[in-house]
Amino acid sequence: MDGKGAWRDNIFIERFWRTIKYEEVYLRAYENMGAARRHITKYLEFYNGRRPHSSLADRTPDTAYFGSELMVA
């Protein structure tokens, strides 16, 4: 992160939200805000714990940053 207002700082967050929208939100019709929170929370657990990322040499973020798979309840 280069500093306040640098365009490069926002790329990672924009890409992350695009992924959530296309892989989760646009595929479901949530009944209410509680259902949306539950489904998005479940997706984020999948995204960080089980979904391989090409930029991390096909490892999950949990594996890349914590060294081993975390137990997801």
Most confident of 26-30, 58-62, 63-67: 26-30
**pLDDT tens figures, 25-59:** 999 999 999 999 999 999 999 998 999 888 888 89
Give the DSSP letter string of the chain.
Answer: ---TT-HHHHHHHHHHHHHHHHHTGGG---SSHHHHHHHHHHHHHHHHHT--BGGGTTB-HHHHHHSSPPPP-
Residue 70 confidence (pLDDT) = 54
pTM of the entire predicted model: 0.72
Domain layout of the chain by residue ranges: 7-66
- What distance in Å separates the CA atoms of residue 35 and residue 51, rounded to the nearest whole number? 22
